[in-house]
Amino acid sequence: MSSTGAPSSQPVGPLSRVCLGFLGYLEVEKGYSPATVSAYAADLQQFAGFLLRRGKSLDDFEAIARDDATGFLAELHRTRQKKSSMARKLSTLRSFFRYLIRNRMLTQSPLAGLRNPKQESRQPRALNVDQATALMDTPAKAGPEGIRDLALAELLYGSGLRVSEALSLTIDDVRADRGFVRVRGKGGKERLAPLSEAARLRLSEYLDERGGLSRDAADQTLFLGVRGGPLTRREAQRIVSRLAEQAGVGQSVHPHTLRHSFASHLLQAGADLRSVQEMLGHSRLSTTERYTHLDLRRIMEVYDKAHPYSEKPAASTENGGGGAGRAGDDPTGKYETDTAAKGKEKA
């Protein structure tokens, strides 16, 4: 095993013509980004290396069996790969074998019926409104870099952009005067993301100062680094972390934290799920639903305001009162929640 924890593999050389054709199909017909295509290529290389150690080849499609796929997953598990990473690699292989079947190079996928590893139920942490406001109100450093940093943060939080989407923006994509930016999301899909008033002002200010960072007048990339080239993901991460530290936010903050906070705050304020889905650029509603988790206090507040029994004393069983709010219906006493107790106190 390598020092990184990934399975060791023998050199497998360049991918076959069929694999390259599959990767070209992803890029041209499916519209996947270069980064996504590179990830698919790396997954195929890793599986090819695993097959090589078994005396097989990724080019010999018919010889690949179900136990090769399960063995590959078992090796990933032994080397402590994350379940999300395992699921992604399995998705790559599924797509590859579907491509072979579609092009009549294979009749049946060896992965048929194979399920993804059960994922850990993890939710990204969101900032509360006060923390987000403090981060956005952090005083800017002197010069165009400081203005750029706050403009980037405003876009990530105010418009809910992925960091990759923000860093791929060009000057022409920004319509600050009209209140939106044109975003190229996953799969090459375009959408219009609304700009908050703060983001509009920050971007306008940054565009006035952007020339102080530019080294090439022909480069239309919106966010530039200190050397004049496009701002990198690592630099964006450092910017967000530094702003959070200056604002006194007591937790680790990543660019995606701001996107998650954007979605969470909209939903908590009453925005409908479909609208948030559109703004985030999610193709499936189930992806947006990950952002709908609210803390228990918020749930109890909604219950107190909406449920007919929430603010009323528990009905006595002697009076024959009915309904879901009766403490007498629960001889164990477990039904009596904090909300019911609070209702008694107010009564």
Q: What is the pLDDT of residue 50?
A: 92
Q: What is the pLDDT of residues 93-115, one digit of tens each?
A: 999 999 999 998 988 898 887 77
Residue numbers annotated as active site: 162, 186, 256, 259, 282, 291
230: which strand partners?
224
pTM: 0.56
Looking at residues 299-326, what average pLDDT do you find?
52
What is the average pLDDT score of the chain?
A: 78
pLDDT at 337 over 70: no
Q: What burial letters (b/e) apply to 217-250, b meaning 16+ CB within 10 Å?
A: eeeebbbbbeeeeebeeebbeebbbebbeebebe
Residue 251: DSSP 8-state? S
What percentage of the chain exceeds 70 in pLDDT? 76
Confidence of residue 328 (pLDDT cuts 50, 70, 90): very low
51: Cβ contacts below 8 Å, ≥ 6 apart = 57, 58, 64, 68
Q: At 8, phi and psi to the nearest 5? A: -70, 155
d(CA 200, CA 11): 51
Do the beta carbons of residue 262 and residue 159 sit within 8 Å? Answer: yes
Looking at residues 282-301, what average pLDDT do you find?
60
CA distances from 88 to 15, 67, 172, 192, 264 (A): 19, 18, 34, 28, 26
Q: What is the pLDDT of residues 253-279, one digit of tens each?
A: 889 889 888 888 887 777 777 777 777
Q: What is the pLDDT of residues 7-52, one digit of tens each?
A: 433 444 578 888 999 999 998 888 888 888 999 999 999 999 999 9
d(CA 193, CA 94): 33
Q: What is the pLDDT of residue 121?
A: 53
